[in-house]
Chains A and B, each alone.
Chain A
Amino acid sequence: MAPIPYRPVLAIVFVLPILVFGNDRFKRQCVPCHSTNIPDLETLYFRYLQTHGSTQRSQKTMRLYLLHPTIQNSTLPPQVLKGFGLHPPLKPELLDQTLPMYFETYDLTKRIKFKSSK
């Protein structure tokens, strides 16, 4: 009997629920608030990339801030934070589901294209 390909099976069992539920929770719990009176999600995304230079570093820093929201852990300047206030702390489980979805939503690699005029 041929061995069962374990990688696709693992992906279906573990990753698919995270994506499905993560997307759902991101849309329900993050987007509504950030659409109104606090910094826009896209602006934050660009700000983090500009400051930290990579998606991985940005995600790691954002996670630390959202777990322990202090001025020291924040990427935004203190004067900006004074205006908006600190983010309420979030649970790791929530961040595991929503943060990947957030970075996936604004992923720059999907926007950039090369073309040659020569």
Chain B
Amino acid sequence: MAFPEILDARALRQSIDTFVDQLVINYADDLERLSMPLLKFLVFVEQLLRNTPWWLVVAIIAVITWYGSRRWTLTAGVSVLLLFIGAIGQWDRGMQTLALMIVSLVMCVLIGIPTGILMSVSERFRKIMLPILDIMQTMPTFVYLIPVVMLFGLGKVPALIATIVYAVPPLIRLTDLGIRLVDHSVMEAATAFGATRRQKLLGVQLPLALPNILAGINQTTMMALAMVVVASMIGARGLGQEVLAGINRLEVGRGLLAGLAIVALAVIFDRVTQSYGKRLQYPAAKDES
């Protein structure tokens, strides 16, 4: 038996369409102008990575890995993976994807951590945010890809925005969780000694939540990398575009090589952020190991 028609779905659809159309007509130009700094930032990072000699990029990333993890094996492994990306002919596309990753990660951190902090402070804000985060994580990407493309046009910026929307929730959740998990009695001690809210947040809560926040950053990076193929559909260049081309032309080899390069990037991001997080967990743990 058919479900009785309560709302006119057709009319509802149309009114949503009209609303988005109006939005596009009235605000698309403004939004595009507003998004210009973002675009400039992304282009800058991309040019920087692509114009720097490959060996220098490998060296810089190796140094970062060393400072993050203090482990020679990991540093060597990361370097080998980078060389592997170059060896299978994916260096330039890899750098384009890396640029998209870096910029979206920076944006996710800028948005995610303050939002997470606000959620941990205000129960009301948390109640509002939780369903929004659920929507961001479960709503099929393509559903919001269309209006985003309509508003910002094809290109890097909508790809970036789609990536951020998809990738930022774990960071927000884990920042909130990390702060909430800070030992109640430690917070009480800080209060008893006359710490202000700001001193408690910066001096106690955030440092103690840092391992969780880094786990959030790790998750966010992984999810952002999972978005590269989708992002390439709306004009982001890089490895995703190559995978897409492989699918379109039924060239398994093309798709596989680009796919392997994505996996290599994912492994690099994952291991570096994780080992940095582990190192922060116990400041003195290195003495005992």
Do chains A and B stick together as partners? no
A-contacting residues of B (Cβ < 8 Å)? none
B-contacting residues of A (Cβ < 8 Å)? none
